[in-house]
Chains A and B, each alone.
Chain A
Amino acid sequence: MSTADLLLPGQPLPARFNSTPTPQPGSGCYLSPNGKLVASIVGVPVRDGSIVSVKSRHEMSAVPEIGAIILPQISRLTPLQANLTISLVSSRPTPQSQEDFQGLIKLSDVRLTEKDKLKMGECFRLGDVVRAEVLSLGDARSYFLSTAANHLGVISATSAAGNPLTPVSWQEMQDTVTGEREKRKVAKPDDA
């Protein structure tokens, strides 16, 4: 691959991305005081409708942002909320660190329906890997997450006996060895 079309931080985007009316700056670029779009990372310019962004050619590690789908792991459970550690954002690992990003799912954000009958212990267990959406930047410590959609919820878990579980319905998973069933808020599998 050539480096001819690569932009560097501080470099204005080529004229065809900078024509008037100036497009909206997306990620990887910004509007400079003189009204030109300028790259802020090393990458190639991409136009998507009225938004122009600069995309890195390499999968950079990611940080949680609002609306992103992430794969956090349950680290603590109380009757009212679940705490999670976030190590994957949009399937990309977050930068490795001694402390992971923290997420939090409130009981009201676990699922769409029958919120009043819900018990946290029947939705998640410690160590479950969950597919969730980032709702907001949250509080000082945690991002607020939600699993209230069909495609969101537990995607990987182990049973009380320590064996892998497979989903059998939208609220049950089955031990692959003993056949015992456990309750979870299950994410609809990709292929279903």
Chain B
Amino acid sequence: MTSVAQTTSTPSQSAPTQLDPAVEAAAFKRLYPRKYLSRFLEHDRRPDGRPTDSWREVGVNAGAVSTANGSALIRLGDTTVVCGIKAETAEPDWDRPNEGWLVPNVDLPAISSPNFKPGPPVDEAQVFSQQIYDLLISSNVLPLRKLGIRPGKSAWVLYIDIVCINYDGNAFDAAVLAVMTALRNTVLPVATYDEDADQTICSRTETRNLKDDLRSIPLACTFGIFDNKYLLPDPSAFELPLCPTTITIAIDSTDPTSSSKSKSKSTKAAEPRIRLVRQEGMGGYAGKAGIEVVGECIGAAKARVRELSEKLYGQ
């Protein structure tokens, strides 16, 4: 803790006033954000006190919302997201009569950040929604056939709504973890289609856990690159706008409790699949750039996903 206090006072030395150091640091941070950040990184610290190459602490709380079929509350440092899954029934599309729907939507509402306004989802939220949809479909997290009730007549629609309450950067990683935790937490009633009434009827007593139908559980890890020099895992809301390039990697998680048993069966399972690699911004031509940095990210992401898996499967 003492080292944190020391680094907090470092950048404030040149701030041009005479007040309490914490206020001075806040003033310096506001006027010269880039300088503020590089002062910290020169001392191998992030402005929130963690070492440069570290991630923020994760809190996972499954089943937080009783009005949803499945839910999760995730804290990533101060970033807080809630995911609630509500199931409804609908008539399947004619061209895929056996399949249901996954409908993920991310909202970054005005409550979560001073930079968001009330109204329809901001651009960032729209991009996140599409990316989570793509991740769910391309990774075959939940085969859509598992959501069929009666071919051509009835299927489940899972509305997966992710709402950010406190946006301190990197909401995407938190949102992906929230979706996966909520899917594992989802309980559906056993449903049958009543031909005569043209209606889907749900049992009041029999349920099924969606957990048993999940094929893979990818988790996302995001990095920012600052000044072509520093690779910042899990960038905060303050750091994110200062990073022209971000890299996101999603890797399949493995259940740490079951992996010990399955190891003997196949060695292939030991190497988790990479589900997504995305670089936003063109990256640099010197320093932290190019294929090397992507390799570095993948290495760091693997370690992080192992850490996240323990939280996820511990629920």
Contacts and interface: CB of A to CB of B under 8 A. Distances in A.
The answer to whether A and B belong to the same complex is yes
B11 to A, nearest CB: 14
A114 interface: no
B215 to A, nearest CB: 42
Nearest to B29: A93
Contacts of A87: 30-31
A52 to B, nearest CB: 23
Interface in A87-110: 87-88, 91-93, 95-98
Q: Is the interface of A mostly helix, strand, loop or mixed?
A: loop
B23 interface: yes
Given A155-B16, A156-B16, A91 B115 contact: no
Given A156-B16, A190-B16, A92 B27 contact: yes
Nearest to A156: B16
Nearest to A97: B114
Contact of B26 (A92, A95, A155, A190): A92
Interface string B26-59: 1101110000000000000000000000000000
Contact of A98 (B19, B24, B115): B115
A95 B23 contact: no
A134 interface: no
A123 interface: no
A45 B234 CA distance: 42
A129 interface: yes
B117 A98 contact: yes
Contacts of A92: 23, 26-27
Contacts of B117: 98
Interface residues of A, number: 16
A93 B31 CA distance: 9
B65 interface: no
Interface string B105-124: 00000000011010000000
B20 interface: yes
A55 to B, nearest CB: 14
Residue from A59, A91, A92, A156 with most neighbouring chain B CB atoms (10 Å):
A91
A93 B27 CA distance: 6
Nearest to A59: B23
Nearest to B22: A59
A95 B18 CA distance: 21
B140 interface: no
A91 B31 contact: no
B17 interface: yes
A88 B15 CA distance: 12
A71 interface: yes
A107 B27 CA distance: 27
B31 A71 contact: yes
Residue from B16, B24, B26 with most neighbouring chain A CB atoms (10 Å):
B16
A81 B18 CA distance: 29
A158 B7 CA distance: 26
Nearest to B23: A59
Contacts of B115: 96, 98
Interface of A: 59, 71, 73, 87-88, 91-93, 95-98, 129, 155-156, 190
Interface of B: 16-20, 22-24, 26-27, 29-31, 114-115, 117
Given A71-B16, A91-B23, A96-B115, 5 more contacts: A71-B27, A88-B30, A91-B19, A93-B29, A93-B30
